A and B are shown apart, each in its own frame.
Chain A
Amino acid sequence: MVQKLDYLKETPSQTAGPYVHIGLAPGAAGFDIYERELGWDIAGPNATGERIRVEGLVIDGTGSPVKDVLLEAWQANAEGVYPHPESAGETEEGFRGWGRVITNFETGEWAFETIKPGSTPGRNGTTQAPHINLWIVARGINIGLNTRLYFEDETEANAADPVINTIEWEKRRATLLAKRSDKDGQIVYRFDIRLQGENETVFFDI
């Protein structure tokens, strides 16, 4: 026998279930309870940079949209700074960097308004291409899924991105690229997430 290491074990994950909205987006569940629901404004009014809309579907292994998903986004500002003391630099007043959206119960569409993030430092002096970190929970998902949204028009930065380049299967890298379009003067990035099967989105163990 040896001494027992005294680390605690992480609390195990469980599914967020179909009624996740009650706790995290009660307005969508059908009742107003909080003065302020959290997560509706990622960038705030003072953020510099390009205003964008990001939208998409989460699609299950049968090809059907998942209509009870909750997504959270975590991103840097246009200068590549996260609003956190371990990210070097300052962010604009009111820049939260974090957002929370749910899918439409009928269509499964989700969307959030934000600004396009800048490049952030990678490990060992590298630079990460602009990206938004996404975390997905839902009924049937036992532990939240982490992925990253990159921008298809950042061709050069994406080609040098240390995380994209850890994906051995080059074909799978494209599942992380959001597609840019201009809808009535608004810049929209489309990012569909495929949980399972053909063109399955790359998920990370972070």
Chain B
Amino acid sequence: MSTPAEYYQRDREWHPPAYTHDYKTSVARSPQYSLISLENTVSEITGPRFGHGDIDPIDNDLILNYAQPGQSPIGERIILHGRVLDENGRPVPNTLVEAWQANAGGRYRHKKDTYLAPIDPNFGGCGRTLTDENGYYFFRTVKPGAYPWRNWVNNWRPAHVHMSIFGSGFAQRLITQCYFEGDPLIAKCPIVKTIPSQAAIDSLVAALDLNATIPLDTIAYKFDIVLRGRRSTLFENRLEGN
């Protein structure tokens, strides 16, 4: 066996650090010791793979996947779409993207959520899909509402969709949150502000994408996701190197 092609080192000055004082729960849940840096082995460069047998075609349609027959959730109908790429700019095909969110009023369908805004009987709030051969994915959903949370007494999360992405190696595993262009709560949020740089924050804000809307039906936002890239290796029998 040759030495495996490693993933580029994660830029941990770009990601949020573990300890972020203003996001209070992080205080007791952040390791104090430094991480131990590993050179990649087969354990990190491999990861789980998923296929169309794992999910149903309707799973990426949050307007239909929990609605009663003939009904649909209340809210602003949106398409959330984009590409999953790696740091080399190459598409990441056939990878699992999972999403979850509150309803249009900011209420989650979760037994631990007690916010007074009501549940929508036609909205579950989760979806999943596989990227196509070009790394493209889309969800159809309603735009989530802002909601309050117990951090400071008057903190409100911006509208957001949680996203979970696998990639091809366990070292690429990522969970993040997608925000929406123009939301004035983004700049106020202690969870957003765990991210050190404005450029990194900007990369989590989906852009209004009028070209992808369906006129008279559904508005669209574009959210591209970038996973770690890999070094080239001379030992892989692939002309493109990675």
A residues at B contact (CB < 8 Å): 6-24, 26, 29-31, 33-36, 38, 60-62, 64, 66, 68, 72, 74, 76, 82-84, 86-88, 96-98, 105, 120-124, 128, 131, 133, 135, 137-145, 148, 163, 166-167, 172, 195-197, 200-206
Contact = CB atoms under 8 A, between A and B. Distances in A.
Given A9-B226, A13-B174, A22-B126, A206 B40 contact: yes
B175 A196 contact: no
Report whether over half of chain B's contact residues are helix, strand or loop; otherwise say mixed.
Answer: loop
B204 A12 contact: yes
Residue from the set A10, A36, A172 with the largest chain B CB neighbour count within 10 Å: A10
A72 B173 contact: yes
Contacts of B47: 74, 84, 98
Contacts of B174: 10-11, 13, 144
Interface residues of B, number: 91
Contact of B175 (A31, A144, A166): A144
B239 interface: no
B176 A13 contact: yes
Given A22-B109, A205-B37, A200 B226 contact: no
CB-CB nearest 4 A-B residue pairs: A23-B100, A140-B25, A98-B48, A84-B46
B191 A166 contact: no
A143 B3 contact: no
A23 B162 contact: yes
B228 interface: yes
A196 B28 contact: yes
